[in-house]
Structure 1
Amino acid sequence: MRALVLHRSLAVLALWLVALPAEAADVGTLWRLRYGAGTVFIAGSLHQLRRDRAALPPSYGQAYGEAERLVMELDMDAISPADLAGELLGRAIDSQGRSLRDGLPPASWRALQPRLKGLGLPEAAIDRFEPWAVALLLASAEFLQRGYTPDSGVEGQLQARATTDRKPIDGLETPAEQLELFDGLPRADQLQLLEVTLKELDSVGPRLEALEGAWRAGDLAGLEALLLGDYFQRPDLHQRLVVRRNRAWVAPVRELLRRPDDTLVVVGLMHLLGEQGLIALLRAQGLKPERFVAGAWRPDP
């Protein structure tokens, strides 16, 4: 279940719709760090892309070709599907036995029912689930219905290539750490997430289009507005889901620069943006990131 990177659902559902040029160049968001023995490429990922237009920006293919190893948020090949499913189910069921129906406003509970029916899930089967798990289930089902799949996403494609090419793959986090991001949220925040998900599902299509357009165009300002705008209204969530993880990744990335081989690091777009993004944090450590723009590497002040 490569959709495990759970914070992606909240990010996608918080998008702002913006207008982008239809003919935007296919640039992507890619940086390079050179310091010490090795080189580290850092690529921003859309975890799911539409199957009918899943081609990655050419710069990603170039960086993959130069890298001897791949590092992602999770190394899914090292995870047992059975163990993952068991841990996910164990966390998805409310350990305190609380009723989801009792926690939601009546209008939200009614809006949930046709969604559950479309998935073949009876009301009783979902009533003891944690709100975050239901939100993730609904969002994942909606993305699949619209043709967006994890296997077509940036990580899915690069991981498949690395497996075929026998390139080493490592992960920055474990499944338990990522599940705890949502499972550890206060109940009120989980319920709010589920309510927002229910309201946004019908309009998520054009918002995903806007996000992909900004990513392919390398439009950092547009991406920040799309992905970070609503988070600034909830700094507690921004710290928990984004900033703390960015800070935890600085040391592993710096360690990769000590290696004699080159590495391609692939993480969600949100983690590379803004003053507390991974790129800014690495710059603050004295490193000098270069960004791939217009076919060449350029200093990224």
Structure 2
Amino acid sequence: MRKFLIGLGASLLAIGHAAAEPAMWKASDEDSEIYLFGSIHLLDKGAPWQTEALDKALSLADYYYYELAMDAEAQALMQTLALQYGTAPEGKTLSSYLTEEQKTAFDAAVTSYGMSPATLEPYRPWLAYLTLSVVSVQAAGFDPASGVETIMMAQTDDEKERYFETAEQQIRFFADMPDDVQAKLLVTVVEQIEEGPEVMTNMANAWRSGDVQTLDEIVNDSMADVSDEVYQTLIVKRNKAWVEEIRTLMEGDEEAVIIVGAGHLIGDDGVPALLEAEGIKVERIQ
């Protein structure tokens, strides 16, 4: 059974309202402290997750690093680029990327959310996948306006915000995948919808409780099971690029908080582990 639901930052949900302590790490050297906090991009409104440790780190930081800018201009650009890279070439439709059985299951999933499958026919599989992923999550009552980045960006100084990636980079992580890999992603989200919300609930609970081992199994191991190319593209290559930027940042004497998708901070390929492999002191503080 495939267990994950990929978004542009891997994990997507948090469910419930009990006290939470999502995992956080601190990387440090003689004159730098870099805090690493894993984000969830869509949350149910009002679910608590900020802690004293996170608030303290935010109050000390010189800079705040996010995956991507999320203001109105950035979101408009993302939508433009999604259509630019996500529209099927002339003579192709979404159905042409799927088997007859897969298309039947996809149509049923889309219809269950009150959508017409015909509206997605002009899309390449990766864009149909992301569209269906977001629709299914929002239908369950979760909202990007309550997500970690949205909340954090409202609290952090715009002039001190920095971003690891551009909108085009994030779009092309998906758009540059081979068509058959894109189709696997689409089939996977359809299968997860058929299985119900249990997997998402387990993932959310693992994040909220700081259970990184379970989160790694649900998100990263399952992603690799679907396609190693997806895992390498969405997790490993990006983590390695971010580690290089963090190393450069630590050459100065500044403090920073890095807020990226939780899937990027866990497991052997996670940013904390890669930093440790570079000889940088890393400790989990929450």
TM range, normalised to the smaller chain?
0.7 to 0.9
What is the aligned counterpart of 1:169 among 155, 161, 166?
A: 161
Question: What residue is the counterpart of 2:7 in the other structure?
Answer: 8
Question: What residue is the counterpart of 2:232 in the other structure?
Answer: 239
Question: What residue is the counterpart of 1:60 in the other structure?
Answer: 54
Structure 1 position 54, deviation (Å)? 4.6
Q: Identity over the aligned pairs, expressed in percent? A: 27
| Alignment partners' CA distance in 1, 2:252 and 2:71 | 23
Question: What residue is the counterpart of 2:33 in the other structure?
Answer: 39
Letter in 1 for 2:152: L
Question: What residue is the counterpart of 2:285 in the other structure?
Answer: 292
Question: What residue is the counterpart of 1:278 in the other structure?
Answer: 271
Q: Matched residue of 2:152: which SS?
A: helix
| Alignment partners' CA distance in 1, 2:121 and 2:187 | 15
Task: Decide whether aligned partners of structure 1 residues 227 and 117 sit closer, same or farther in structure 2, where only a CA change above 3 A counts.
Answer: closer
| Alignment partners' CA distance in 2, 1:178 and 1:204 | 28
Letter in 2 for 1:289: V
Letter in 2 for 1:239: Q
Q: Which moved more, 1:22-31 or 1:235-244?
A: 22-31
Question: What residue is the counterpart of 1:297 in the other structure?
Answer: none
Q: Are the equivalent residues in 2 in contact too, given 1:69–1:169 (CA < 8 A)?
A: yes
| Alignment partners' CA distance in 2, 1:227 and 1:122 | 29
Q: In the TM superposition, what whole-angstrom CA distance separates every residue of 1:8-62 from its partner, at most 9, and x where no partner exists?
A: 269559x9xxxxxx99862211111222433211111112211141543443222
Question: What residue is the counterpart of 1:69 in the other structure?
Answer: 63
Letter in 2 for 1:8: G
Letter in 1 for 2:139: Q
1:51 equivalenced with 2:51 (yes/no): no
| Alignment partners' CA distance in 2, 1:84 and 1:108 | 28
Letter in 2 for 1:70: Y
What is the aligned counterpart of 2:136 among 139, 142, 146?
A: 142
Task: Decide whether aligned partners of structure 1 residues 54 and 142 sit closer, same or farther in structure 2, where only a CA change above 3 A counts.
Answer: farther
Structure 1 position 236, deviation (Å)? 2.7
1:216 equivalenced with 2:216 (yes/no): no
1:104 equivalenced with 2:98 (yes/no): yes
Task: Decide whether aligned partners of structure 1 residues 201 and 9 sit closer, same or farther in structure 2, where only a CA change above 3 A counts.
Answer: farther
Q: In the TM superposition, what whole-angstrom CA distance separates every residue of 1:100-159 from its partner, at most 9, and x where no partner exists?
A: 223322233233335445666544432221011111111101111112122212111101
Q: Which moved more, 1:228-237 or 1:115-124?
A: 115-124
Q: Which moved more, 1:198-207 or 1:238-247?
A: 198-207
Structure 1 position 175, deviation (Å)? 1.0
Q: Are the equivalent residues in 2 in contact too, given 1:71–1:171 (CA < 8 A)?
A: yes
Q: Matched residue of 2:197: which SS?
A: helix
| Alignment partners' CA distance in 1, 2:107 and 2:214 | 35
* Residue segments in structure 1 that go unaligned for 5+ positions in a row: 1-5, 16-21, 294-301
1:194 equivalenced with 2:186 (yes/no): yes
1:206 equivalenced with 2:198 (yes/no): yes
Q: In the TM superposition, what whole-angstrom CA distance separates every residue of 1:53-100 from its partner, at most 9, and x where no partner exists?
A: 154344322222221321011122384443322111111101353122
| Alignment partners' CA distance in 2, 1:196 and 1:9 | 16
Q: Are the equivalent residues in 2 in contact too, given 1:131–1:190 (CA < 8 A)?
A: yes
Structure 1 position 176, deviation (Å)? 0.8
Task: Decide whether aligned partners of structure 1 residues 184 and 76 sit closer, same or farther in structure 2, where only a CA change above 3 A counts.
Answer: same
Q: Matched residue of 2:91: which SS?
A: coil
* Residue segments in structure 2 that go unaligned for 5+ positions in a row: none
- How many pairs are equivalent? 279
Q: Are the equivalent residues in 2 in contact too, given 1:31–1:289 (CA < 8 A)?
A: yes
| Alignment partners' CA distance in 2, 1:252 and 1:130 | 32
Q: Which moved more, 1:214-223 or 1:172-181?
A: 214-223
| Alignment partners' CA distance in 1, 2:243 and 2:107 | 43
- Please report the RMSD computed on the Cα atoms of aligned residues, expressed in angstroms: 2.8
Task: Decide whether aligned partners of structure 1 residues 241 and 100 sit closer, same or farther in structure 2, where only a CA change above 3 A counts.
Answer: same
Q: Are the equivalent residues in 2 in contact too, given 1:72–1:266 (CA < 8 A)?
A: yes
